Each structure stands twice: as C-alpha cells, then as structure tokens.
Structure 1
C-alpha cells in the first residue's frame, strides 16, 4: 500500500537536532528493528505519538515533530491475511515480551518479521499502536527506508527553522 499524509513523532529532545536520523532506534533496537538498524517510529496522529512516547512513568520532556510523507511501499499490518502470508499473527505483533526475546536470542520475532518485510521490498509497516491505552484507531508507521525524494519521501515540517535554533 502507499501512505500519503502527515506523520508525527514525539522525540526525546536528545535527538531533536536529528529528527530524521533514526539514531535512537539504531542504538537500542525497537519492536520492529534490531539494534544496528535505523528506523523511524512515527504515528498517524499527534495523540498517538504522545501516547507512544509516554509508555512508562510520567511524561518526560518531549519534542514534537511533524512530517509530510509519501511512502510508496508500506506493508499493512492491519491485514491478518497478509500477516499470515509472512508467518506472523496480530497477537505476535502485540507480544509485550519482544525486549526479552531480543535479550535472550539477539532478535525478537517482530524484528525478524521486519527484516523479512524489508527483504521483500517494503519501506515501512503500518500497524496499530501497542502503547498503554491505545485503541485500534491509534496507528503507527515504522519506516526503514526514507529520504527527501520518491519513492519514500519524508519531509520534515519546520518552515520557521525552529530546530536549527536548538
């Protein structure tokens, strides 16, 4: 599927000067990327982005980023049939033990799934948010490939150059 529209991220301010780097996920790994692989974890709504950034404890200082996206090859993780074709279930995507799996085996099942999608030409994954309190309407788009040009265009919205002043 193709995704066109706004995407939002609620960043740790440490990464605010590099809002398209994927450095945090590259250093630590994430549900859909192993350590060493950069990824951008975006949300399709501002509310979901904030929910994602505040999964543990109290809300910490956060920098809100907005992008305009046009990503041509996105896997639709809402489709159980498509998931089945890649050997994974909605329950496996939501499994909260992914960090434990990563520590025990080096990679979580969801990270291996992401690598399989990438090998099959996908640049991103549209999937529901698994943050505390999220509903089926809270959606994330995880990007593994992005640039400032087609077919995986991601443009930071910062018309006033505010991030340059940080």
Structure 2
C-alpha cells in the first residue's frame, strides 16, 4: 500500500510541475486571475435592472470593498417580446433580452481600457393574476441579469489572463 501511495504522490508532483512550466494559471482561486477582479468598482444606472446587475457583478467578482484603480461602467437595455399567443389572441409567454454595454476605465483616464457587450435571454409565462405576472417577469429579469453578469466577469477574466487588459 505504501509504494502505491508514494507512486501517486510522485505522479501528482510531476503533473503539477508540468502545468506550471507550460504557463498554466488558474482563472479562479486566491491567486488566480479573478482575484484581481475584486479591486474593480462597478457603476450602473438607476433602474431596478441596473441595481440588480451591479449586485450580481459585485457578488461575482467579490468586489464589495473594491478600492483599485479601475471602474466598470455598464448600461443596460431590456426588450420583451411576446411569442406565445393563445386562442384568445393574448400573449401568454414572453421572451426577455437584456443587453449590457460595458466599459472598463482606469482612474483619471477618459478612454476605456476595455469595452464589451453581454447579452442574455430568458423567457417567462404570464399567469392571469397581476401579481403572478409581475413576479414572473421579475424572475426572468433576474435570471437574465445573472447570466449577463457572469458573461461580463468571464470576458474580464479572459482578457486579464490573455494580457489584453491592465
């Protein structure tokens, strides 16, 4: 049993040395690329969708107490399109699309360091009750916002890892 454990330990050591030699850097983790995202401040608009996006970005980047030299500014647009029409000619299902245009600025700079667009879609049913319809729409909006925030964070982390930003 002891020689097997020793052989596995040696194999693990060789594999980890090989990964570090090829330039492998973890994207997530304490020393990964995403740890630098925690220093980015987030600015959005004043609507509900903007606030939810800001919260999703702050949570996803771990940037609640960001104090670094970078700020991400995002503007959102929401479109809702009916696509499920019943026999009574009333829409019973909607497709919601959120588009987020974002720019990353360094403090004191007028031109953005990086720009991007994140789009996400969600759909929702419209029940007959007013409260149910509002809750269903808000839930779809939250799902789409979380997807858009994840896409923005992935774009930033990928750019940092590739050396495109900063």
TM class by shorter-chain length? under 0.3
Q: TM-score scaled by structure 1?
A: 0.26
Relative contact order, CA 8 A, sep 6+: which one is greater? 1
- Larger Rg over CA atoms: 2
Q: Identify the structure with the greater helix proportion.
A: 2
